[in-house]
Chains A and B, each alone.
Chain A
Amino acid sequence: MSLSENEVRRVARLSRLAVTAAELPQLQQDLSRILDLAAQLQAIDTTGVTPLAHPSGAGAPLRNDHVTEVDRRQAFQAVAPQTERGLYLVPKVIE
């Protein structure tokens, strides 16, 4: 399966990756080869096989509903680029 340049640009946009025009042809080739591998797997007859959600056969462990965490805001915000009045500051986002 071969991806178009436009499809690669769209995937890059969805992934928030800045891809230069020079990188596009190589990416297009690499991604197409990955899809080829996926197509090879898709071709296998899996009728009657339960989809595997997790390699471990066990169920998820559960925890009781208790508050066990304390406020560690100061420690966490020490490594944040910018904070103010307890908030993490990020480049402006408007819906």
Chain B
Amino acid sequence: MTQWEVVIGLETHAQLSTESKIFSGASTAFGAEPNTQACAVDLGLPGVLPVINRGAVERAIRFGLAVGAEVAPRSVFARKNYFYPDLPKGYQISQFELPVVVGGGLTIQTSQGEKHVRLTRAHLEEDAGKSLHEDFHGLSGVDLNRAGTPLLEIVTEPDMRSAEEAVAYARALHGLVRWIEICDGNMQEGSFRCDVNVSVRPMGQPEFGTRCEIKNLNSFRFIERAIECEVKRQIELIEDGGTVVQQTRLYDPDRDETRSMRSKEDAMDYRYFPDPDLPPLLVGADWVARVAAGLPELPVARRTRFADALGLSAYDAALLTASREAADYFEAVLAAAPGVDAKLVANWVNGDLAAALKRGDLDIAHSQVSNAQLAGLLVRLADGTVSGKMAKEIFEILWSEGGDADAIIDARGMRQISDSGELQAVLQQLIDENPAQVAEYRGGKEKVFGFFVGKAMKATAGKANPAQLNELLRALLAG
């Protein structure tokens, strides 16, 4: 039985978060009436000239810096020629031989640990319009609002070896483009979509197998499913004596399979050539330096700081830096809860808060418990006013009713009993009332300890400080 190795590379189209298009002053706002945001340049009317949007270039520079790539001092726009009604000029302006971002890489976290994925390049290009195939008396409708929207196409080396790694990369990239605020990452609206190149080869074979490209995947789940289907298809095909044919395929989520879109024989010849309407894009070192100065602390740096300076586990630090909002929330709680251990804060943000967000299908920016509210609660947990169990209850109240922890504690008398005199009195009474159980415990039956804990909790309405209770009880029972 041959062991197969999977080889995956990704091409991601990230829509850049500019107000206006890459080569025109038309708006990029989503959801406008058809063709109300398609100007003469976007329509490719005769006599118009494209002018590059500085904001789009600046976002490409931010990306290049964030992935440790080279920002090309001189890059060139080219025409990629093909015919389709949603491409009015008959060519897409893209970058071919000389892209604006060269190299770089991204570190991802998987169940196998950390891995570095190399990037080949990232280039600027314009998006096409949208064809609507529902029936217009046997015709197709074309909306060109999206035509000319700026995209950054980010291409990896074939470095990934499983669907899990590919999804981890896509998630890390998605987190990064949002972190550095170059793309809103809205996958439903198509702001972040992936093409996946998949091939298989017998384990140990140095040459790559023939690859297939699966186009336009707009959810992480579809990326994972599409790769798994395609890997299975290729392996079965080869094991049945067939050969993989290089082609472009589409993933059909309803049938959970990939199907051929076009094969290499019909592959288009794009006849790339430098766009004579656009002189080379020059990016000076001073511009790059200005952009670098304006970059926020990047996910990797922040993750390292959380692990090294705050003593968090690699796992916690990675979860907290999955998005900038999560990292900001965590640090805000930490700042508002002086003296509270960072590990405790991390446990709550990654535990109870994350679970509540998931239940409510909310992201952390829309959390129903603010960082100040959580800090107020954790201060009371850390100073022993409330037990862990009470804290969970208070958290649920904060989530559903709002308010602040101190007020809830006072209103509901949720203060735990940490007064050793008071606890000792309760425990002494229990011991006096249950001589048989005391004898059993002293006779070596350790399990009876739980009986007393239960009784004591009942007697104090669950308010006894558990650690203190255990300690006192053990001493008293020892006699």
Q: Which residues of chain A have a CB within 8 Å of any CB of chain B?
A: 14, 16, 51, 53-54, 56, 58-69, 71-73, 76-77, 82, 84-95
A81–B279 Cα distance when bound, in Å, is 34
Contact, CB under 8 Å: B133 / A94: yes
Contact, CB under 8 Å: A89 / B279: no
Is B35 positioned at the interface, with any CB of A under 8 Å from its CB? Answer: yes
**Cβ–Cβ < 8 Å partners of B34 in chain A:** 85-87
Choose among B20, B98, B282 the residue that contacts A59 (Cβ–Cβ < 8 A).
Answer: B282
Binary contact readout B44-87 vs A (1 if CB under 8 angstroms, 0 otherwise): 01000001111111000000000000000010110000011100
Choose among B37, B98, B141, B271 the residue that contacts A89 (Cβ–Cβ < 8 A).
Answer: B141
**Cβ–Cβ < 8 Å partners of A93 in chain B:** 84-85, 131, 133, 140
Contact, CB under 8 Å: A65 / B139: no
Contact, CB under 8 Å: B56 / A65: yes
Most buried by A among B83, B97, B280: B280
The residue on B at minimum CB distance from A16 is B83
The distance from the CB of B279 to the nearest CB of chain A, in whole angstroms, is 4
Contact, CB under 8 Å: B143 / A63: no
The distance from the CB of B351 to the nearest CB of chain A, in whole angstroms, is 41
Contact, CB under 8 Å: B35 / A87: yes
Contact, CB under 8 Å: B38 / A76: yes
**Cβ–Cβ < 8 Å partners of A67 in chain B:** 19-20, 25-27
A61–B27 Cα distance when bound, in Å, is 20
Contact, CB under 8 Å: B25 / A54: no
Residues 22 to 48 of chain B near chain A (Cβ within 8 Å)? 24-27, 33-40, 43, 45
**Cβ–Cβ < 8 Å partners of B462 in chain A:** none
Contact, CB under 8 Å: A88 / B25: no
Choose among B57, B85, B97, B279 the residue that contacts A58 (Cβ–Cβ < 8 A).
Answer: B279
Residues 247 to 287 of chain B near chain A (Cβ within 8 Å)? 261, 268-269, 271, 274, 276, 278-282
Beyond A54-B274, A54-B280, A73-B38, whether A88 also contacts B57 by CB under 8 A is no
Choose among B25, B271, B278 the residue that contacts A69 (Cβ–Cβ < 8 A).
Answer: B25
A51–B273 Cα distance when bound, in Å, is 12
Choose among A54, A59, A69, A95 the residue that contacts B39 (Cβ–Cβ < 8 A).
Answer: A69
Contact, CB under 8 Å: B132 / A60: no
Contact, CB under 8 Å: B144 / A88: yes
**Cβ–Cβ < 8 Å partners of A56 in chain B:** 279
A51–B75 Cα distance when bound, in Å, is 12
Beyond A16-B83, A60-B280, A69-B39, whether A92 also contacts B140 by CB under 8 A is yes
A5–B346 Cα distance when bound, in Å, is 70
16 interchain pairs, CB-CB under 8 A: A53-B76, A54-B278, A54-B280, A61-B51, A62-B53, A65-B56, A69-B37, A69-B39, A76-B40, A86-B35, A87-B35, A87-B136, A88-B35, A89-B140, A92-B133, A92-B139
A85–B136 Cα distance when bound, in Å, is 10
The distance from the CB of A12 to the nearest CB of chain B, in whole angstroms, is 12
Is B390 positioned at the interface, with any CB of A under 8 Å from its CB? Answer: no
A91–B139 Cα distance when bound, in Å, is 5
A71–B145 Cα distance when bound, in Å, is 11
**Cβ–Cβ < 8 Å partners of B268 in chain A:** 14
Q: Which 10 A-B pairs have the closest CB atoms?
A: A65-B55, A68-B25, A59-B282, A87-B141, A86-B34, A69-B39, A62-B54, A90-B85, A53-B274, A71-B36
Contact, CB under 8 Å: A63 / B36: no
Beyond A72-B39, A82-B139, whether A66 also contacts B19 by CB under 8 A is yes
The residue on B at minimum CB distance from A87 is B141
The distance from the CB of A34 to the nearest CB of chain B, in whole angstroms, is 14
Contact, CB under 8 Å: A85 / B53: no
Is B142 positioned at the interface, with any CB of A under 8 Å from its CB? Answer: yes
A87–B37 Cα distance when bound, in Å, is 12
The residue on B at minimum CB distance from A76 is B43
The distance from the CB of B152 to the nearest CB of chain A, in whole angstroms, is 15
Most buried by A among B52, B132, B140, B268: B140
**Cβ–Cβ < 8 Å partners of A94 in chain B:** 133
The distance from the CB of B23 to the nearest CB of chain A, in whole angstroms, is 9
**Cβ–Cβ < 8 Å partners of B131 in chain A:** 90, 93
Contact, CB under 8 Å: B51 / A62: yes
**Cβ–Cβ < 8 Å partners of A51 in chain B:** 97
A7–B28 Cα distance when bound, in Å, is 41
Contact, CB under 8 Å: B140 / A65: no
Given contact pairs A60-B51, A60-B282, enumerate 10 new A-B contacts (beta carbons under 8 Å). A53-B76, A54-B274, A60-B279, A69-B37, A72-B40, A76-B43, A87-B136, A88-B85, A89-B141, A90-B139
The distance from the CB of B267 to the nearest CB of chain A, in whole angstroms, is 10
**Cβ–Cβ < 8 Å partners of A61 in chain B:** 51-52, 279
A55–B142 Cα distance when bound, in Å, is 36
A95–B218 Cα distance when bound, in Å, is 18
Is B138 positioned at the interface, with any CB of A under 8 Å from its CB? Answer: yes
Beyond A53-B274, A63-B25, whether A87 also contacts B142 by CB under 8 A is yes
**Cβ–Cβ < 8 Å partners of B33 in chain A:** 73, 86
